[in-house]
Structure 1
Amino acid sequence: MDTLRGIAVSSGVAIGPALTLDRQGMQIRSLYVPSQRIPEEIERLDRCLSELSNEIASNAQVVSEKVGPEVATIFEAHRRMICDPHLRSMVVERIEKRGCSVEFAVRSVLQKYASFFRGMENSHFRDRAEDMLDIERQILARLAGDRAPIEEIDREVIVLAHDLTPTQTVSFDPKFVKGIVTEAGGQTSHTAIIAGALEIPAIVGIGRFPESLEHDQTVIVDGNHGVMIIAPDEPMLHRYRTSVRDFQRFKESLGKLRDLPAETTDGCRVTLSANIEFPEEAKHALERGAEGIGLYRTEFLYLNSKSAAPSEEEQYEAYAAVLKTVGPDRPVIFRTLDLGADKPHQDGASAENNPVLGLRSIRLALKNLPMFKTQLRALLRASVLGDARIMFPLISTLMEFKRARMVLADVMEDLQELGIPFRKDLPVGMMMEVPSAAVMADRFARHVDFFSIGTNDLIQYTLAVDRTNETVASLFNASDPAVIRLLREIIKAANRHGVDCSLCGEMSGDPIYTPLLLGLGLRQFSVAPHNIPEIKKIIRSVSLEDAKRVAGRVLRLDSASEITSFLRDRTRRVVPEFVDEMD
């Protein structure tokens, strides 16, 4: 039994067989093959090695002619390793004795080789580890025609991968994908957000999977604590199954809160809305008690589109579906496309050295006006169907916001000339997620209809931490005093100018921060649908006066660890089940 620790990004517990994906997002065949198919697997191996050897020899000849024989020796070294009879015999032995596929046998043997070389003191030999991994990639790529893409997962599994793109995660069917674990990734990557939306327990940034991990081996994914357990024994399985049953009963009890208001014990009314990525989630959000949609991440239409960008009609249909589901009396805040950084798209910019600080979100939209105007046309056309509101992401300067509003005004004028109806009094707001904007919140408040605080990026930019980089994940902390002081100033500026202010980042869905945010003056929360009952339970369990005392105490503390410890202790006193689940 092995235990690995990573970053918990989607709560819940899943138990099931491991399914490993390679770096191209294909399934590594991990099922046992029948004994009668073993000769076929060995034949596939020999054919692959022969074809790859010939291809490398040909490439070496071309390189030798172009840049000289010295460079070509690199290719020749790879060819010799591929033709090594000892390598073949080890792979064949695994196929014959363990009955596994050629893909899994190749991966297992070459990963073992790589690990051996990595552990050597001589740097020359350590470099051979990368050669082994390169050979692994080449062989698996050659066998790719026999592998199944992730969209074809048709049994209950725990998906294990180096990393996943948002597009790959979106394709998962929760009926079959019961848990997700990745070697890389950060706490608020959009892959993590999608896993939460799909309610699939997930852990990221767990580091390299052990080579002892076998195909179809039973694993436990503890998305509450960020723990993955490989080959758990019976007592451990029993403990987790009991814990899952107990917490499920508690969550079912929260369902009784659905039709009750989000109101503190001393009568302070709070608006509780939902964050969604897909139109289908709107119905689910209402079933959980959402009072509206506080954040519709429209970029997932682009990520799922088969063409470069969804057409105006495709977008209109998606936006109209959400408004019709929610009804005319509940607001829906549409965030315009937020592509770039960890959500690359083929119709955006070329690869950048630092995409987090590059051409993304509103910057990409303002540079690609045809794409931006197409989205705004679809949004405006749909606006007549309900209480639609538009929000621009990643605004860093007042001029940027004004430019975006000018583009919106141009599109309104075009629709008016064509006689196409739309809401002329459409509220327009901005994401407050860049420190430069937070510092200028008082000025922005004079020009916007509402703020929505995006803590995921706000924390990232304030603390200079890439939120998708697992190597610095421990530095990404919503409890940092600098972050909390920025939140206080944004909320104060909004309240002073009578501007609605919501918080839609992942911080809003964490129960330990609810009293603090209430105490700072926040009265609108937007969270993932599955978090709504939990946050409502906390709101209905505290008084506003107590929340203000919590905020006052937090603002006097100097470190994130002190703040987190204090907030967890306060939450444990109010609703112990939430903290017990985390501990």
Structure 2
Amino acid sequence: MRHTLSGTAASRGMALGRARLVQPSRYLVDTRPLGEEEIEAELERLHRALDIARQELHELRGKLHGALAREVNEFIDAHSLLLDDAELLRGLDELVRIGHYRAGVALKKQRDRLVKVFEAMDDPYLRSRKEDIDQVISRVISALQRQTTREERKLAARVGEILVADTVAPADMAHLTGSGLLGALTTSGSVYSHSAILARSLDLPMLVGARDALSVIHDDDLILLDAEHGEIIVHPTAQDLARYRAWQREAAQEGRRLAALANAPTLTRDGVGVRLLANAEMPADIAMARARGADGVGLYRTEFLFLRQKELPSEDEQFIAYRDLVLGMGGLPVTIRTLDLGADKADAAGLVLRGEDNPALGVRGVRLSLRYPSVFTTQIRAILRAACYGPVRVLVPMVTQPDELIAVRTLFKLARAELKRENVDLPEKLQVGAMIEVPAAALNVRALMEHADFLAIGTNDLAQYVLAADRGNDALDNIYNPLQPALLRLIAYVIAAGRRAGKSVSLCGEIGGDPNFTALLLALGLTEFSMHPGQILHVRDRLAALDHAALRRQSARLVHANTYEEVEALLAEIAPA
């Protein structure tokens, strides 16, 4: 019988497939008291399930490469640490040995206890990490209930399925997508979560917040996931299927229309030129950027060089990667971001600090680089050598205050002198810019510009820090919203400061590649966007329909709005989709 559910579109598109349910909080567990003679066997069973869960995460890490590895390795690391947490393991053993609970009940009790601890925390970032507890415990319970052959321990991933779950970890999404997953549907989650961002980069349709999905949908039900209109149709009718086929034809036609824009200039309706740059990491990103007509690379992430192996990459390894990037862009400008790691991300040969109370506000980005000047100097030397092959500039992440840029420039000067003594070819000049993702940097941007040649606004982190809200916490959807006036005022302030100083300002956060925000950013004065290369044609198409002069005249109304609802209403008025 046909049934319709509603959800919030996190990644646009449609998909038709069989439902595959993952129900971490709904597993049936054996609640019978454990006999004294059964304790040791039950402990062995529990520890075997924990080992299976650890092995699954290890195998996932080995299978992921490039952009996917960068997106999800931090979650794999966090989950691996939880599985080795002494307090968690001791508590489980005591529940079985002393409380005489079976393994499944012990896991659920530990889950409930830890979630309460996290929910009681004042820090919103830490409070939101309760989702990690859910995902780790569900992985162990799943391992507990499966048989123990190696094949059955692997994460099931059958072609033609749509994942239906409470939440989905980015690592699992990446792995399942590689095996043919068609779409994802969750009962909770946020459109700004890491999983949602990953789904958009993979062009995987996804709906979040479909509260009743797990109670209404059953395994192998045929479902139509409509992330264009925010609904799920269980047991679709012939009429529903006809609508899906029509959408497929329209999507193919739209794809052909957008493809024709690959070689078109990027102009607004009133003829104002806008630069569209690519966020990149791997050779495939560079190839796509060139194919879509990017004006250059606005953000090249160097972390993958440090995450793909246990040892730190050598100067030559880094040089080759940067040189190939520059050559691959065929003379177009390239912006290389220096190492952006911290304890909230994956480790890199023991560089990052463990045990920080709040790693999101810890030793990360330029703070980490300056803590290890020899490692940083190796990267600087590689960048300087590669900059002889084409136009290169350097972007420094997580800048807070001017002295960090001064220290970076000093290290560049020392490296340049060292390379000159070695008779190595060097570029005449290399621009050094600051990434504006810390509120202090935005507010004190004029002081930073005395030492920065250009600016790049990183809205993903800037929004989290300004709003004190984790983007992955669906309980904060009413707060974490890129349309929040406080955030818009900071963005507008930075853009205006850069323009007055005659320095370029780009924006490389998630909203830079979202056509829904293109009119807003244009109104705030932005003319340099950096995005996933897959979004370039969509943004170019949107820009062609917008009047730059008319939008700029509305900027004061936008930044003086009191609520994001007011901003939303204004945008609907001045630049309807």
2:17 aligns to what? Answer: 16
2:181 aligns to what? Answer: 177
In 1: Cα distance, 2:367 partner to 2:154 partner:
34
2:515 aligns to what? Answer: 511
Q: Does 1:471 align with 2:472?
A: no
Quickly say closer, same or farther: Cα 1:302–1:233, change in 2 above 3 A.
Answer: farther
Q: Does 1:531 align with 2:535?
A: yes
1:547 aligns to what? Answer: 551
Deviations 1:93-152 (A, max 9, x none): xxxxxxxxxxxxx99xx99xx99xx9xxxxxxxxxx99x9698256158838444545x9
Q: Does 1:242 align with 2:246?
A: yes
The code of the aligned residue for 1:139 comes to: L
Which shows bigger deviation, 311-320 or 560-569? 311-320
1:300 aligns to what? Answer: 304
The code of the aligned residue for 1:557 comes to: A
1:238, CA displacement in angstroms? 3.7
Quickly say closer, same or farther: Cα 1:167–1:277, change in 2 above 3 A.
Answer: farther
1:283, CA displacement in angstroms? 0.9
In 1: Cα distance, 2:210 partner to 2:357 partner:
25
The code of the aligned residue for 1:337 comes to: L
1:34 aligns to what? Answer: none
In 1: Cα distance, 2:189 partner to 2:164 partner:
13
Give % identity: 32
Quickly say closer, same or farther: Cα 1:210–1:175, change in 2 above 3 A.
Answer: closer
TM-score (norm 1): 0.74
The code of the aligned residue for 1:55 comes to: E
Q: Does 1:74 align with 2:95?
A: yes
In 1: Cα distance, 2:385 partner to 2:226 partner:
44
Residue 210 of structure 1 aligns to a residue whose secondary structure is helix
1:190, CA displacement in angstroms? 4.7
Q: Does 1:372 align with 2:379?
A: no
Preserved contact between residue 147 and residue 153 of structure 2 (Cα < 8 Å): no
TM-score (norm 2): 0.74
Q: Does 1:315 align with 2:318?
A: yes
2:141 aligns to what? Answer: 136
Quickly say closer, same or farther: Cα 1:273–1:143, change in 2 above 3 A.
Answer: same
1:331 aligns to what? Answer: 333
In 1: Cα distance, 2:179 partner to 2:418 partner:
45
Quickly say closer, same or farther: Cα 1:496–1:71, change in 2 above 3 A.
Answer: closer
In 2: Cα distance, 1:368 partner to 1:156 partner:
47
Matches within 5 A, 1:7-46: 8=10, 10-19=11-20
In 1: Cα distance, 2:393 partner to 2:374 partner:
21
Q: Does 1:443 align with 2:444?
A: no
Quickly say closer, same or farther: Cα 1:331–1:134, change in 2 above 3 A.
Answer: closer
Matches within 5 A, 1:88-99: none
Preserved contact between residue 95 and residue 101 of structure 2 (Cα < 8 Å): no
Deviations 1:51-71 (A, max 9, x none): 842637999xxxxxxxxxx99
The code of the aligned residue for 2:486 comes to: A
Preserved contact between residue 342 and residue 468 of structure 1 (Cα < 8 Å): no
The code of the aligned residue for 1:498 comes to: G
Residue 356 of structure 2 aligns to a residue whose secondary structure is coil
1:469, CA displacement in angstroms? 2.1
Quickly say closer, same or farther: Cα 1:545–1:385, change in 2 above 3 A.
Answer: same
In 2: Cα distance, 1:222 partner to 1:312 partner:
48
Q: Does 1:522 align with 2:543?
A: no
In 2: Cα distance, 1:173 partner to 1:135 partner:
22
1:482, CA displacement in angstroms? 1.0
1:167, CA displacement in angstroms? 5.9
Q: Aligned to 1:412, which of 413, 416, 419? A: 416
The code of the aligned residue for 1:385 comes to: Y
Quickly say closer, same or farther: Cα 1:293–1:236, change in 2 above 3 A.
Answer: same
Deviations 1:427-466 (A, max 9, x none): 1111111111111112222221111111111111111111
Q: Does 1:55 align with 2:44?
A: yes
The code of the aligned residue for 2:148 comes to: L
Structure 2: segments with no counterpart, 5+ residues: 28-37, 49-90, 116-133
Quickly say closer, same or farther: Cα 1:80–1:444, change in 2 above 3 A.
Answer: closer
Residue 344 of structure 1 aligns to a residue whose secondary structure is coil
- How many residues get paired? 495
1:286, CA displacement in angstroms? 1.8
Preserved contact between residue 390 and residue 429 of structure 1 (Cα < 8 Å): yes
Preserved contact between residue 517 and residue 551 of structure 1 (Cα < 8 Å): no
1:474, CA displacement in angstroms? 3.1
Quickly say closer, same or farther: Cα 1:331–1:50, change in 2 above 3 A.
Answer: same
Which shows bigger deviation, 559-568 or 70-79? 70-79
In 2: Cα distance, 1:382 partner to 1:167 partner:
33
In 1: Cα distance, 2:541 partner to 2:93 partner:
66
Residue 177 of structure 1 aligns to a residue whose secondary structure is coil
1:62 aligns to what? Answer: none
Preserved contact between residue 338 and residue 362 of structure 1 (Cα < 8 Å): yes
Deviations 1:258-294 (A, max 9, x none): 2221112332211111122322111112212211111
Q: Does 1:390 align with 2:390?
A: no
Deviations 1:500-530 (A, max 9, x none): 1111111222223323322322211112222
1:181, CA displacement in angstroms? 4.6
1:396, CA displacement in angstroms? 1.0
Matches within 5 A, 1:62-461: 74-76=95-97, 81=102, 136=141, 139-140=144-145, 143=148, 145-147=150-152, 149=154, 153=157, 155-159=159-163, 176-181=180-185, 186-203=190-207, 210=214, 213-224=217-228, 232-303=236-307, 305-328=308-331, 330-340=332-342, 343-346=345-348, 347=350, 348-461=352-465
Preserved contact between residue 356 and residue 362 of structure 2 (Cα < 8 Å): yes
Q: Give the aligned CA root-mean-square deviation in angstroms.
A: 3.9
The code of the aligned residue for 1:75 comes to: V
1:416, CA displacement in angstroms? 2.7
Which shows bigger deviation, 486-495 or 159-168? 159-168
The code of the aligned residue for 1:343 comes to: K
1:495 aligns to what? Answer: 499
In 2: Cα distance, 1:259 partner to 1:57 partner:
58
Quickly say closer, same or farther: Cα 1:212–1:202, change in 2 above 3 A.
Answer: closer
1:563, CA displacement in angstroms? 1.0
1:490, CA displacement in angstroms? 0.4
The code of the aligned residue for 1:16 comes to: G
1:87 aligns to what? Answer: none
Residue 342 of structure 2 aligns to a residue whose secondary structure is coil
1:496, CA displacement in angstroms? 0.6
In 2: Cα distance, 1:80 partner to 1:168 partner:
29
